[in-house]
A = this chain, B = another copy of it.
Amino acid sequence: MKKYSEMTREELLAEKELLEKRYAEKKSLGLKLDISRGKPCPEQLALSLPMLDIINSETESFKCENGFDIRNYGVVEGIPECRRLFGEILDAPAENVIVTGNSSLNLFYDLIAHAVCHGLPGGNSPWSECKERKLLCPAPGYDRHFAVGELFGFELITVPMNPDGPDMDTVEELIKDETVKGIICVPKYSNPQGITYSDEVVKRFANLSPAAPDFRIFWDNAYTVHHLDFSGEKDEIPSLLRLAEENGKGDMVYMLGSTSKITFPSAGLAAVASSEKNIADFRHTLSFQNIGPDKINQMRHVLFFKNLEGVLSHMKKQSDIVRPKFETVLKVLKSELSESGNAKWNTPKGGYFISAELMEGTAKRTVTLCKEAGLTITGAGAVYPYGKDPADSILRIAPTFAPVSELPDAMEIFCISAKLSAVEKLLK
């Protein structure tokens, strides 16, 4: 088959007719499919159910390691054993970890709110007093990250993504502006491209010299243990905090993580790892907000996983559930889109998403066509700041939640819609 770009007008018209026929057939099925959000499926959730049995009315002791009763007030920074667990997950010393909240998004929001209201170590004032504040946003990225920045009045500055992470020349240039207060990153199995930052990129992050004395790298390592295990391949990155500390720049780093997609998205745990100074500062604010996190739930997680090895073995079971879904999506993408040449996509080694780069100017139309045929996908533009994809070409596919049986139909609708949009565009 010819590439679309090489087809004559007549060939395109013939292809259009074919696609419209296929599209009408799919539409007539009246399906209701959804590949829009990165949600674990019920089978994944079921893996964590035994955790709910671990602490119960027969439990003999409710004391955590430092002697506190996990049922009562106190221990604002989280119980020691759970800080240690997250220290292993995030690759940071336990004493540099605070466990609170239920998602890394939640902690990102809280840290931004903290900076806006109270300021951060090294800074001269609360960020609310910096009227021109800017946030660097490597994109394609996570829509909810950008939304938090926008809500708090940051100007969002797009940083292009390379195959090995954000374009560091651009980052190093942009941080010379002292109104640039931070950058939000998903360094491993990124949302949505599944990109893992190279060691070189991480090292350059660890050695940034920003103009703003209270500049921060928000390092949302949400997918650090979410390997997809295609033939056992795993990505690893060095600990940004440890590298930055070696450079005397540990205060620049907040590493975030959670068990949202490890145990239960609503009933999981979140953690931040940072320098001693930042941890003391954030703990101080937390001590006003709260007289302690849900320590019973922290202990549930500790007893369920025991250590990083326990987490990884649990994630192996998760990948066995979701890998076939990714395989199905990739298979349909390949069979439908590779020959026409109007799309590229990534094959992630982990994380929750596949990102498809369609022909320029066709992403929005594709979403509309998908919707009309009963398939919900993340809106076009969502992966860019302000929801504006300059090329109108990137779409995010979230394969985990839908039953594997629904994915062939969903992906056929997606691909037919993408091809039809491309042909329509070429015929204009």
* Residue interface bits A74-117, CB-to-B below 8 A is 1, else 0: 11000000000000000000000000011101100110010011
Chain A residues within 8 Å of chain B by Cβ, number: 56
Interface contact A291-B265, CB-CB below 8 Å: yes
* Min CB gap A345→B, angstroms: 25
Could you tell me the distance between the alpha carbons of A144 and B76 in the complex, rounded to whole angstroms? 14
Closest B residue by C-beta to A129: B128
A290: chain B residues within 8 A (beta carbon): 101-103, 105-106, 109
A148 to chain B: which residues have CB within 8 Å? 288-289
| Residues in A32-71 with C-beta less than 8 Å from chain B | 37, 39-40, 42, 45, 48-50, 52-53, 55-57, 59, 62, 69-71
Cα distance A285–B116 when bound, in Å?
15
Q: Is the CB of A102 within 8 A of B294?
A: yes
Query: A388 near B: Cβ within 8 Å?
Result: no
Chain A residues numbered 280-297 whose CB sits less than 8 Å from any CB in chain B: 285, 288-297
- Whether, in the assembled complex, A162 has its beta carbon less than 8 Å from a beta carbon of chain B, the answer is no
Q: Check A267 for interface membership: any CB of B closer than 8 A.
A: yes
How near does chain B come to A405, taking the closest CB pair, in angstroms?
19
Is there contact, CB below 8 Å, between A69 and B57?
A: no
Interface hub of A37, A73, A117, A147 (most chain B Cβ within 10 A): A73
Q: A57 contacts which of B50, B266, B293, B294 (Cβ < 8 Å)?
A: B50
Shortest distance in angstroms between A389's beta carbon and chain B's nearest beta carbon?
21
Tell whether A72 is near chain B: CB-to-CB under 8 Å.
yes
Bound complex: CA A88 to CA B73 (Å): 25
**Contact indicator per residue, chain A 267-310, by CB within 8 Å of chain B (1) or not (0):** 10000000000000000010011111111110000000000000
What is the CA–CA distance of A128 and B131 in the complex, to the nearest angstrom? 12
Nearest-neighbor residue (CB-CB) of A68 within chain B: B266
Is the beta-carbon distance between B117 and A289 smaller than 8 angstroms?
Answer: no
B72 and A39: CB pair below 8 A? Answer: yes
Residues of B within 8 A of A386 (CB): none
Whether, in the assembled complex, A126 has its beta carbon less than 8 Å from a beta carbon of chain B, the answer is yes
**How far apart are the CA atoms of A106 and B293 in the complex, in Å?**
10
Instruction: For the complex formed, measure the closest distance between the CB of A129 and the CB atoms of chain B, giving whole angstroms.
Output: 8
Instruction: State the Cβ distance, A390 to closest chain B Cβ, in Å.
Output: 24
The answer on a CB contact under 8 Å between A73 and B39 is: yes
- Our pick among B55, B62, B151, B294 for the contact of A288 (Cβ within 8 Å) is B151
Q: Beyond the given A72-B264, A109-B288, A266-B291, please list 11 additional residue pairs across the A-B interface where CB-CB is below 8 A.
A: A45-B69, A49-B56, A52-B57, A52-B296, A53-B56, A71-B264, A101-B290, A106-B289, A148-B288, A266-B292, A297-B297
Closest 3 CB pairs of A and B: A49-B57, A128-B128, A267-B296
